[in-house]
Amino acid sequence: MQRFFNIFVLIFTGMLVSSCTVSNAVNKNNSDTLTFADITNNININSAKIKSFEGDGSIDFDSPENSNSASINIRRDALHDSIYARISGVFGITGAMVTLNPENFIFYNVQSSYVVKGESSRKNISTILKINLSYEELRNIICAAFVFDSAFKTDNINSNDVSYILTGNKAGISQKYYIDSKYKYVTKFISYDKSGSIAYEIEYNDYRLTEGIYFPMDVLFNVPSKKESIKLSYSSVNLNPEGLKFYFKIANNAEVYNWK
């Protein structure tokens, strides 16, 4: 269980697209040529609608060493651009909590009674998560709120029977997006390391339409090189709740580590 809580934070703090053409536009029916903007516009609009959310569900972790599961509560506050997650084990006992914003993070291992605080730099988050992620990437993974802008440099737009496939890079990191050709939401995201191997990949399934917003109820996070996977299954999601609060109380005897 201890290893599960440590690795589970991968998805927050540690927990979010066969080709037919190779060009910057894709022709689906010989009459309509779709551009990068055509494909990503709906994604940007849908992402912009998700101001905040609270989700409850379960987490399943699998690796060559062990498998485990736990209950989770995730909250995203857009007003303060912050994320909160509470991971609970048997009988609802809290095992770990984490809160992050663009400036700093706090990770509280309740079971082992220690706290890690520091800046939300890519270096610190990557050290906690054991994978190369920025706060922005982590935030987008959790709520599937991808935003395509000028920072994403498109190399190719391909397609198959069910998806558009965008390849490119952002801040020097190679990425690939699979986008549902009918509803225009991200169904799979792949991030590559410098060697060209898959650093991690995320599948988004069981999208539900609630109040005009598409949101995935199942998220599968996979690290192929380590044969580790984490499946997040929401049982309930409240989109754009009012008065969203984070509950984060640290025991007085908890050991605190401060990272720069």
pLDDT at 15: 39
Tokens found for residue 7: 């690795």
CA dist 251 and 86 (Å) reads: 15
Q: Per-residue pLDDT tens for 71-120?
A: 999 999 877 889 998 988 765 678 889 999 999 999 999 989 999 999 99
Determine if residue 21 is left, alpha or beta; phi over 0 gives left, psi from -120 to 50 gives alpha, anything else beta: beta
pLDDT at 255: 95
pLDDT at 20: 27
Closest CA to 176 of 185, 184, 164: 164
> Which region among 9-23, 61-75, 89-103, 122-136 has the lowest average model confidence (pLDDT)?
9-23
pTM for the full predicted model: 0.78
Q: What is the 3-state secondary structure (H, E, C) of 14-64?
A: CCCCCCCCCECEEECCCCCEEEHHHHHHHHHHHHHHCCEEEEEEEEEEECC
pLDDT at 79: 76
Domain 2-52+59-237 is found in CATH 1.10.645.10: no
CA dist 53 and 74 (Å) reads: 8
pLDDT at 8: 46
pLDDT at 45: 87
Q: Would you say the C-alpha torsion 47, 25, 27, 30 has a positive or negative sign?
A: positive
Q: Per-residue pLDDT tens for 24-44?
A: 445 554 335 678 888 888 888
pLDDT at 69 over 50: yes
Average pLDDT over residues 214-242: 90
pLDDT at 24: 43
* Confidence grade of residue 150 (pLDDT, cut at 50, 70, 90): confident
The DSSP call for residue 142 is: H
pLDDT at 54: 93
pLDDT at 176 over 50: yes
pLDDT at 12 over 70: no
pLDDT at 33: 66
Mean pLDDT of the chain: 81
For residue 151, count CB atoms less than 10 angstroms from its CB and return exposed for 0-12, middle for 13-18, buried for 19 or more: exposed
